[in-house]
Amino acid sequence: MIHALAEELGPWGWWLLGLVLLAAELVLPGVFLVWIGAAAIVVGALSLLLWETSFWLWQVQLLIFAALSVVSVFLGRRLLSNGNAVTDEPLLNQRGASLVGRTATLHEPVVEGRGRIRLDDTFWPVMGPDLPAGTRVRVTTSNGRDLTIEAI
């Protein structure tokens, strides 16, 4: 069945698959299908050149397509990743970490190591030594949403 389909579509089947995958990328954006579509188009180009050769069987074409898909996805992710990009706001999506060093007044006393402070418009749970409400404190560390404080 696959052999008959490969023979019927010829080398243009890979081009068709590549274009369908590129169109699917427009519908389902994620910059993933574009690399697999590019691999299909490359196999289609190779098929145009090698179609009449005896070793260019549909199994070989599928293996090359699979290998090119994996390689192109990894290279594409590396090309588009900006993990080492320098930013002017490195703590933009780390709100708790951006509060380290700030000072505040305890809104609720710290009892048994737990209390609350108000920074800007948000109440934050804090951990630290027992202190009465109204004490000025400095945020020393952040662990997710919990902040560790010390009296100043």
Does 23 lie in the same domain as 57? yes
- Using the 3D structure, point to which of 80, 115, 143 is the last residue of a domain: 80
55, 24: one domain: yes
Q: What is the pTM of this model?
A: 0.54
Q: How far apart, in whole angstroms, are the C-alpha atoms of residue 141 and residue 98?
A: 10
CB contact at 8 A, 60 and 15: no
Does residue 131 lie in a domain region?
Answer: yes
Q: Please, are residues 120 and 97 in contact by the beta-carbon 8 Å criterion?
A: no
The reply to whether 17 falls in a domain is yes
Interval 8-30 mean pLDDT: 88
| Tens-place pLDDT, residues 74-94 | 998 888 876 667 777 777 778
- 115 plus 72 within the same structural domain: no
Name residue 138's beta-bridge partners.
103, 150
Which are the contacts of 58, defined by CB distance < 8 A and separation ≥ 6? 2, 3, 6
Domain boundary among 54, 80, 106: 80
Pinpoint the alpha helices (H) of the chain: 2-9, 12-27, 33-50, 58-80, 95-98
Whether residues 29 and 99 share a domain: the answer is no
| Counted domains in the chain | 2
Domain boundary among 80, 113, 140: 80
Residue type at position 109: P
For residues 23 and 80, the model is more confident at: 23
**Residue 87 belongs to some domain of the structure:** no
CATH number of the domain within which 133 lies: 2.40.50.140
Domain that holds residue 101: 95-151
Average pLDDT over residues 3-24: 84
Tell me, yes or no, whether 69 and 103 share the same domain.
no
Q: Tens digits of per-residue pLDDT, 42-57?
A: 999 999 999 888 888 8
Considering the domain architecture, whether residues 65 and 123 belong to the same structural domain is answered as no
CA distance 26 to 17: 15
Cβ-based neighbours of 29, under 8 Å, separated by 6 or more: none
What count of other Cβ atoms lies within 10 Å of the Cβ of residue 109? 14
